Structure 1
Amino acid sequence: MIDFNSKDFGKSFKTLRLDRGYSINDLADNILSPSVLRKFEEGLVDPSFTKVLMLLDRMHLGADEFIKFSLPNYFPEYKAFLVEVGESYNNNDVKTMKRIYQRESDLFRENSEFFYLIAASTVAALIKNLEANFVVEKNIIDNLSDYLMKVEIWGDFQILIFGNCSMIIPSKTIYLISKELFHKTKKLRSINDNLHNTIAALENGIEITSDRREYELAKELLDLLSDFNIPSDELLLRFKFSFFKNLFFKKQAEAIKLNNQLIETLRLMNSNQLASAYDEYMSTFYQNKLS
């Protein structure tokens, strides 16, 4: 059972209460006293698990979602899974990854547990990175998309899932989820520090839709990203934003010139492999547009 005796829980609860427009008096009515609720939000008291569940229910918020928002690193099982599948991915061991995918998708089919859904989705997305023609079960894609479309509070955990699994999500769904992620994260980001992961997830969506030659959707995602002020110390995120902005909104000759300057900056930073990857990406992009 989760111990709610934590300042993180109280702080998160207050964030969600204010975001949903509840006053302390209205929310506490007939559950506990307003003073106790206020002290909980300040991290001074530990209400019972039952009382917290009643308060969450009044806000139409599940305990699982509240915990994910309050403790974004609460899921060690998923982290352990990422280590397992990451080793196979780094070794280009597609055969092992397919066995892992089959194991997790079978487990999800048997008991519909959330963990098996995100595990199967994550390894499927990694396989698609290595083997473009890999076919993912429609049941996995539909359930993953349905879950992400219904997310109310975007914490680091949900953003991580979206970023890790976007490769198997339909492009239009990526756009719709990105809009929800953008608006809800922007509203709460002063308290829930997930700006980096949000920007990275949006940039990932731009790259995926561009690779699929769905350029109008990629442009719309880029427009969303334009409303974020990318921190000056996030050099790679700023590089990717400028790179794609040039591709989609500059004439080809000017875009190539500007992006070559960006790529040269990577080489000056001794990131030659990354520079070559973006150089090749730009060449392929214009070849695809002409074909």
Structure 2
Amino acid sequence: MGKNLKTGKIIAFIRETKHLKLKEMTGGDFSESQLAKFEKGETEITVGKLFTVLENSNVYLDEFQNLYNEYEQSYEYNYRHELAVAYAQKNIKVIKEIQSFWEEKYQQKSDNKFYQINKIVVKINLAMAKGSTVFKEDTDFLMNYLESVSEWGRYELWIFGNCLRHFDDNALEYYGMQILGKANYYHSIHLNQQIVIRTFLNIIDTWLRRENLIQAFKYINHLKEIGISINFFYEKILFEYHKAHYKVLQKQNGAIEEMKKHAQTLADYGFPLEAKALFEEIEKL
């Protein structure tokens, strides 16, 4: 869907839900017919006029942004969710379909670096799902992109979270320490808070898998300092699971049973796939 049509449909949605007339939305600052055409995607309006419409509708800019992101999700947002589900289920067929989609998009417009990044991230997920080798040039490309961005948003956090398991120790330590400085948006945006927390959980898990207790302990403390509210139930239980895993590696008595307890909690509260993966991990310890 084109941006103008999408924005117009959102403005129409706001007007209809608030039972406002076109004249009330424009406030007489520009013609009602122009707004009507904009709602249908037939014409454009200036940023100033858009702000006028939002002000006259008593809709704040961050509320509009949320509607813009959620009202009709683009392929980019949908595929991230589909990719996460497919990887969790090790569904090679679906991951390959997503990979083909982004390869085709990149072939159509090879100067779009985001198409290339998306293609590489899917390629890495496919390799991880198959247990095959991830190519260094792919992770290098992503690392160079992350290094070039001074303020990480959801997109950059998503890239890092998907690929951090394939960074070497030096790169993982470096970028892990960069997160809070580069992701300032996480303080005020709920979804970004969740993504930052999940990213730290992935880092902790990676260090535990590498049996690097010093680094794992460092990031456990980072996450303690950030804090995980009760609103993030899944993340809170997973954090307790990772802390129990840390105790296992320290050879503390009862730590395995503690891991099983947290995995079972996830199973009991509607996370069966995630719990299954944790139980399988415990069996290998």
Q: TM-score, normalised by structure 2?
A: 0.61
Q: Distance in 1 between matches of 2:270 and 2:99?
A: 37
Q: Find the counterpart in structure 1 of residue 177 from structure 2.
A: 179
Counterpart of 2:125, as a letter, is L
Query: Is this contact kept in 2: 1:263–1:279, CA < 8 A?
Result: yes
Cα pair distance change 1:148/1:280, threshold 3 Å: same
Counterpart of 2:274, as a letter, is L
Aligned length: 220
RMSD: 3.9
Q: Find the counterpart in structure 2 of residue 218 from structure 1.
A: 216
Give ranges in structure 1 of 5+ residues lacking alignment.
4-44, 48-69, 287-291
Q: Distance in 1 between matches of 2:84 and 2:271?
A: 22
Find out whether 1:126 has 2:98 as its counterpart: no
Cα pair distance change 1:112/1:197, threshold 3 Å: same
Deviation at 1:229, TM superposition (A): 1.0
Q: Secondary structure at the match of 1:208?
A: helix
Q: Secondary structure at the match of 1:189?
A: helix
Q: Distance in 2 between matches of 1:226 and 1:86?
A: 26
Q: Distance in 2 between matches of 1:224 and 1:114?
A: 32
Q: Distance in 1 between matches of 2:221 and 2:133?
A: 31
Counterpart of 1:147, as a letter, is Y
202-211 vs 82-91, greater mean Cα deviation = 82-91
Deviation at 1:81, TM superposition (A): 4.6
More relative contact order in 1 or in 2 (CA 8 Å, sep 6+)? 1
State the Cα deviation string for residues 100-138 of structure 1 (Å, max 9, x = none): 399379859x956321332122212311331222332x3
Find out whether 1:165 has 2:166 as its counterpart: no
Query: Is this contact kept in 1: 2:120–2:138, CA < 8 A?
Result: yes
Q: Secondary structure at the match of 2:151?
A: coil
Cα pair distance change 1:279/1:82, threshold 3 Å: closer
State the Cα deviation string for residues 234-286 of structure 1 (Å, max 9, x = none): 111011111111221464323123223323323443645433322221232x3
Larger radius of gyration: 2
Q: Where in structure 2 are the equivalents of 1:81-230 lying within 5 Å?
A: 81-82=79-80, 91-93=91-93, 96=96, 100=100, 103=103, 107=107, 111=110, 113-136=112-135, 138-185=136-183, 187-193=184-190, 194-230=192-228
Q: Find the counterpart in structure 2 of residue 269 from structure 1.
A: 269
198-207 vs 151-160, greater mean Cα deviation = 151-160
Q: Distance in 2 between matches of 1:271 and 1:102?
A: 29
Query: Is this contact kept in 1: 2:99–2:123, CA < 8 A?
Result: no
Q: Find the counterpart in structure 1 of residue 22 from structure 2.
A: none
Q: Percent identity?
A: 21
Q: Find the counterpart in structure 2 of residue 38 from structure 1.
A: none
Query: Is this contact kept in 2: 1:107–1:116, CA < 8 A?
Result: no
Q: Distance in 1 between matches of 2:171 and 2:269?
A: 36
State the Cα deviation string for residues 202-255 of structure 1 (Å, max 9, x = none): 112222333344444333332322211101121110111111112214643231
State the Cα deviation string for residues 47-81 of structure 1 (Å, max 9, x = none): 9xxxxxxxxxxxxxxxxxxxxxx899599353355
Q: Distance in 2 between matches of 1:99 and 1:235?
A: 32
Q: Distance in 2 between matches of 1:276 and 1:211?
A: 18
Q: Find the counterpart in structure 2 of residue 256 from structure 1.
A: 256
